[in-house]
Structure 1
């Protein structure tokens, strides 16, 4: 293992231990918090400062991020061992984790923007790490989609500038409806909610260790964390819009995952579905439950990506699940942990994902919500079970098409990272549920009622799919296949319309307007002569004493009249 990877692993695990010790010793579990603010208002025009908040949220989140980053770095020492520039890759990954730490520790708007922009820039560098056309295309879609969210945040800075306040503790400014809507839209783009969902599966062009880190606990959860911090300022309109988009995102990801054969994209679509569930939980007001699901999901999703990455590595780079049968016999540890993480994703009883999903559904059913929303939520949960069972079936069935038979054993570094990640996935939910006892006020539901309802909706979906297969003509089947496999046509719309058509139109507009008549007509036909002429006259006036006195007299009169 490279020395860069070893030092990075040691640094991540030491940082994880530091935040766990701070959490236990400082009394943050009892509701305490440490707030440190660097005030800069005396040097600036408005109210400005960098506020660092260390509480149970930031400590738990950063401990989870650093533990997963350590396991991912250990995994990259195995997966990227052939890489000539492994040190450069490790440093870019460290910059990515550092940006996430800045975002978590500085929830004030200006400090948060530093980490937010850092995540966007470094994620583009990681997606285009493999220098080929597919990586560049995926990187451009990722960068442009995330830049849309950055635009909303920049507009929000303009709104704050009009109030001369950027402080995290200034509730008057953040209670503005325009600002809360801008925060919502910016967070939706970073967390890939509808209609900004196309970039998340495309980002699978990055190396698998990057996908493990990006799609478990960092980039896609940044929007969820921002909304969690600013959830008090979301009004009813914003929460209603968030509920609609999150439910659509869950159904979109589940329906597209049922037809996807690329294993990495199936796991990415499952991440999209779970992030939609976190957003949905925030929209119903269960913020602590959403954060609990975020942490639990980070562990078992990172484990799932590691297992999928190991299978892809040992199969010679093949990502098609239809040609990866027989893994159960050839890679027993990997396949066992893959089944474990899939059962956690489904919310199977007594697995890690079961605890968080039970609380999400229980908190939702405890409120007064419409029958349509309950129906759609159970549809999304059923779709999650479908594509998870499909992936387990394709990978574990004996098809004799996999080319892994010449491998005698699994790598020691690979097995160590898997075992550490699996222990984190098992222990995290039980420990976190004990920590969360003082923060949870959720009505727990009857498990028998939940699974009866889930089974009923699953059978209904099976009947609908069988009806389409048996009684639909070829055109209906082809349209359904294209509609679901292209993520409800979001891929061509984001790639062709939003990227190519919009960028070409914008460049033509800039060439015609800014470089054309503004520069060629207005500037050359009088504006330049007027400005340069006035500049030369003022310079001549300053050189003689009478002009100097007249200039200052004019300035004095202007100040008095103003």
Structure 2
């Protein structure tokens, strides 16, 4: 029996089990703490604590279900790979790290899961070993290290309360300075993991990983760890911190939506859509409703995982070509994949009555009810419009437009294992929104808005579709006007120059100074005059060698000089 089938069955079984456990815990309103004391030193006891409630069980079931489908899908996608078993084991380690993070109410065990995610994600991003992958892996690992350091600092400050189990102190110590400081550190950690501005550049770079990994990372594991941590910590966040988070998250949402409209890499467009949705989750969390953020986290996980799987199938059949300009008319050759792809795109846009609609519409209406300021109101709706715009542009380029690939091609829907893995998710992409809505919110949510504000989402969706259609038809005529547009689009496609700032902008000068340091100190004067400049020493030695080779001549010459000197002294 293949390793993929074994892990697929195990994860699927545990996923179903945890889902029913979450239902039981939700209905009975149960929370269980499991404490395991593994070391007593004098009077200090070290306790490993596990928190089991409806939220952790539900999230675990979703993560395990998606990862089981991804592992099943990988069997065919990674077919022919020499190290398939190693790849599957890395994915399983990734999922286990996420499990540890989900069930931890303790900062130490959270750090274990948090660092596990960072380390394994580095191994997965550099899986295809080339320079681009190594650079992307390094950028991912180092960006996430900032968050790890913030968690380590939070652990040190948490000692002031006498325990690392933050769950006991969140509400009680909310107004304490130390707790507020810990809140700032946790928000910084969550921002690095969830790639909020200014740490956004690693998320599209992490696309160097194999597509099944991208599917897992962008739906329910690595990037959602930050949002999940903030959902747990939401009681301890002060008002000022929430305003700051809201501003950064809404800006991230706007930036990623704008950038995705100028991108041509299929996987990067979907990665930027993840960034946009993360901004949406963070911003609604900052507005004060953590349950809605969790609701959108779960619905988003399903359609984003399937979206990446469809993209993987398309890339697989297109001979590893990721440029959407080479695609087109795939509807004829890959009907089922394109149907799944379209459904996921509609769900992402928030089209009524798919899963994304239930969470997204609720979030926007909740935001409309709590009037904060006009900036937040406008940026929310613009971001939704941009989401529809890049989704429609992507669909137009890849599914409807002209087929621009090689004449000799083998584009077909022959991968049945991949299709089975994708089919396991499609039912939930359509129905999970309403299911989760009925499960999580016992009382019906009543939202009363004027007709125009109620219809605003639909209006913005239609406007976004028109913009996406215009952008997909747009062709450059080379004149001064188009040159300006070219400069603007390259600036936007480079994510407001963020990758340059976070790579060359930061590491060029330290490396340059390091070079000077090694020249002067490390390889100092001895090395400089020795190993580096041996020519000087060889010149001296060759000069001395003249004396040693001609010693008799020199001896007689010195004798003559001595005689001459004596004669001169006599006169």
TM bucket normalised to smaller: 0.7 to 0.9
Q: Pairwise mapping of residues 271-310 of structure 1 onto structure 2 (< 5 A)? A: 271-310=274-313
> Which position in structure 2 is the counterpart of 1:452?
459
Contact residue 141 and residue 499 of structure 1 kept, 8 A? no
Give the superposition deviation at 1:398. Answer: 4.4
- CA change 1:227–1:340 in 2 (3 A) is same
Give the superposition deviation at 1:301. Answer: 0.4
Give the superposition deviation at 1:101. Answer: 0.2
- CA change 1:120–1:459 in 2 (3 A) is same
For residues 369-414 of structure 1, the C-alpha deviation after alignment (integer angstroms, 9 at most, x for no partner) is 1112101111111111110000000011242323585355422201
Q: 2: CA distance between counterparts of 1:13 and 1:129?
A: 25
Give the superposition deviation at 1:483. Answer: 1.4
- CA change 1:456–1:263 in 2 (3 A) is closer
Larger radius of gyration: 2
> Which position in structure 1 is the counterpart of 2:130?
132
Give the superposition deviation at 1:162. Answer: 4.4
- CA change 1:250–1:142 in 2 (3 A) is same
Give the superposition deviation at 1:444. Answer: 6.2
Match of 2:419 among 407, 411, 415: 415
Contact residue 46 and residue 164 of structure 1 kept, 8 A? no
Match of 2:85 among 75, 84, 87: 87
Q: 1: CA distance between counterparts of 2:18 and 2:400?
A: 43
Does 481-490 or 421-430 show the bigger shift?
A: 421-430
Q: 1: CA distance between counterparts of 2:247 and 2:522?
A: 40
> Which position in structure 1 is the counterpart of 2:70?
72
Q: Pairwise mapping of residues 384-463 of structure 1 onto structure 2 (< 5 A)? A: 384-403=387-406, 406-407=410-411, 409-438=413-442, 441=445, 443=447, 447-452=454-459, 455=462
> Which position in structure 1 is the counterpart of 2:490?
482
Does 500-509 or 230-239 show the bigger shift?
A: 500-509
Q: Pairwise mapping of residues 237-248 of structure 1 onto structure 2 (< 5 A)? A: 237-248=240-251
SS in 2 for 1:230: helix
Does 474-483 or 82-91 show the bigger shift?
A: 474-483
**1:347 matched to 2:350:** yes
Give the superposition deviation at 1:18. Answer: 1.6
> Which position in structure 2 is the counterpart of 1:179?
182
What TM-score do you get using the length of structure 1 for normalisation? 0.85
Q: Pairwise mapping of residues 8-47 of structure 1 onto structure 2 (< 5 A)? A: 8-24=7-23, 26-39=24-37, 43=41
> Which position in structure 1 is the counterpart of 2:264?
261
Q: Pairwise mapping of residues 136-175 of structure 1 onto structure 2 (< 5 A)? A: 136-168=134-166, 169-171=168-170, 175=176
Q: Which runs of 4+ in 1 moved over 4 A?
A: 39-42, 44-48, 172-175, 439-442, 444-447, 453-472, 502-516
Give the superposition deviation at 1:469. Answer: 8.7
Q: 1: CA distance between counterparts of 2:517 and 2:145?
A: 20
Q: 2: CA distance between counterparts of 1:367 and 1:479?
A: 39
Q: 1: CA distance between counterparts of 2:472 and 2:307?
A: 27
C-alpha RMSD of matched pairs (Å): 3.0
Q: 2: CA distance between counterparts of 1:510 and 1:11?
A: 53
- CA change 1:361–1:248 in 2 (3 A) is same
> Which position in structure 1 is the counterpart of 2:255?
252
For residues 328-347 of structure 1, the C-alpha deviation after alignment (integer angstroms, 9 at most, x for no partner) is 00000001111110111111
Give the superposition deviation at 1:455. Answer: 4.9
Q: 2: CA distance between counterparts of 1:314 and 1:467?
A: 27
Contact residue 378 and residue 454 of structure 1 kept, 8 A? no
> Which position in structure 2 is the counterpart of 1:541?
none
Give the superposition deviation at 1:456. Answer: 6.2
For residues 4-25 of structure 1, the C-alpha deviation after alignment (integer angstroms, 9 at most, x for no partner) is 111110111011012023223x
**1:491 matched to 2:532:** no
Q: Pairwise mapping of residues 115-130 of structure 1 onto structure 2 (< 5 A)? A: 115-130=113-128
**1:357 matched to 2:353:** no
- CA change 1:395–1:507 in 2 (3 A) is same
SS in 1 for 2:414: coil
Does 291-300 or 9-18 show the bigger shift?
A: 9-18
For this pair of structures, how many residues does the alignment match? Answer: 514
SS in 2 for 1:5: helix
For residues 296-326 of structure 1, the C-alpha deviation after alignment (integer angstroms, 9 at most, x for no partner) is 0000000100000000000100000010112
Q: 2: CA distance between counterparts of 1:459 and 1:47?
A: 63
Q: 1: CA distance between counterparts of 2:138 and 2:104?
A: 28
Q: Pairwise mapping of residues 222-233 of structure 1 onto structure 2 (< 5 A)? A: 222-233=225-236
Instruction: Structure 2: give runs of 5+ residues left out of the alignment.
Output: 525-571
> Which position in structure 1 is the counterpart of 2:315?
312
Instruction: Structure 1: give runs of 5+ residues left out of the alignment.
Output: 517-562
Does 371-380 or 162-171 show the bigger shift?
A: 162-171
